[in-house]
Chain A
Amino acid sequence: MAEYALIDGYLETLRTSVRWRRDVDDIVAEMEDHLYSAVERFEAIGTDRRLAQRQTLDRFGDPGLVANALASTSEGGIAVPTTFTKTAGLAGMWSGVLMIGLPIAWTLGLISEERSGSWDRVESTMFAVGTAALLAAAALIVVLMVGLNKRHGGLGTAGIVGLGLAALGVVLAFIAWFIFGWGVLLGSGMLIYAIAMLRRDIAPRADTVAFGSGMLIGLIVFFVLTALEVGWRDSYGDYPLAFLVGVWSMSLVSAVGLIGLGRWLRSEEPADIEPAEPFATS
């Protein structure tokens, strides 16, 4: 509709400003209906078409202001992708890769121990590699969570609690080696955080569920298999197979969520790199 160039141009600008929203087509369709209804009303009382468009757009508001209102959350934040959320996405993808490295290294260590019948240099190295992968992954998970918080424009009290627990877990991991202690803190933080994210419904749901449930699933698998006394019993009275299956469950499910959420953040075009974008000015 070339004769409604002002309205069409406005809608195009608005579409660009809210392109990161899942329902961008619905939003633009709704605004389009409003703007054309208003122009038709002006024209019906004899207003010149160009003037009708100007008056309509004056009443509707600057596209940056409207886009900003559409991005505002109940916490007062602005839920848009930025260069930081994109970087956090990369951290998330790497944390997923490292999470897979963890069970591989520990499995190789335990297999080696079973074959040699002793805990020696190879086993210690494998265990250390797995542990380093886990620590690095945990730190990167917190970076991902900060990015997700930014992308959601804040996640309220649940988000703060989740992020706080996860961050505390990571700090404890670096100063005290008690995996069930800090693992439970990190896992609970991720679970609470995922619930807060699901309530906001911005990120992909399946990846969010995997992100939040990975640690919990791993713990449940470990405790159930241990209670059922699955596999052999080592000299400490533990069940290495239950431990390994639990770690694999935790790592694989978490990795699916971490890589998925990381890829999602990476795939979005940042809204803060173009100076003409509305969010930089309003």
Chain B
Amino acid sequence: MRGQALKGHLDLLLLAVLADGAKHGYAVIDDLRERSDDAFDLPEGTVYPALHRLEKGGYLSSDWSVVQGRRRRTYRLTDRGRGALGEQRRAWDEFSDAVARVLKGSPWPSTP
């Protein structure tokens, strides 16, 4: 999927990946790639601004630790993030169901 198409849904996807538990940036992106079977072709570096934005909005919190001599930032969902994920999930389900119903509908009858 092209980056532009993914952009509008990136926040939801990041919240969903973090719903399993706290992860650092590389693990979040790796999980996103794995769970989507490499469907999302997005420059990995551009995911970080989205994580920062979600943290600033109070949907995520982060902590720093030192792992193998490197500083590592780990993100986790906040209560607000969990609530937003639930809402966004419901909205997405409704939307995708509606699209699926339209696409599965009968083809336009040909004119006699």
Which residues in A have some Cβ–Cβ distance to B below 8 Å? 26-27, 29-34, 36-38, 59-63, 65-66, 69-70, 72, 74
Q: Are A62 and B73 in contact (CB under 8 A)?
A: no
Most buried by B among A27, A30, A62: A30
Contact at A30–B48, with CB atoms within 8 Å?
yes
Contact flag A60-B49 (CB < 8 Å), given A29-B70, A38-B26: no
Note all chain A residues with C-beta closer than 8 A to B73.
26, 29-30, 33
Rounded to whole angstroms, the CA-CA distance of A69 and B46 in the bound complex is 6
Contacts of A62 in B (CB 8 A): 43
B45 at the interface (CB under 8 A from A): yes
Instruction: Give complex CA distance A31, B49 in Å.
Output: 11
Cβ 8 A contact of A70, one of B29, B43, B48, B70: B48
1/0 contact trace for B83-98 toward A, CB 8 Å?
0000000000000000
Measured in the bound complex, the distance between the Cα atoms of B46 and A71 in whole Å is: 11
Q: A66 contacts which of B26, B29, B46 (Cβ < 8 Å)?
A: B46
Contact yes or no, B44 A37, CB < 8 A: no
Q: Once bound together, how far apart are the Cα atoms of A60 and B44, in whole Å?
A: 4
**A26-B64, A33-B24, A33-B26 given. 19 additional CB < 8 A pairs?**
A30-B48, A30-B71, A30-B73, A33-B67, A33-B71, A33-B72, A34-B45, A34-B48, A36-B70, A38-B26, A59-B43, A60-B43, A60-B45, A61-B45, A65-B45, A70-B48, A70-B49, A70-B52, A72-B49
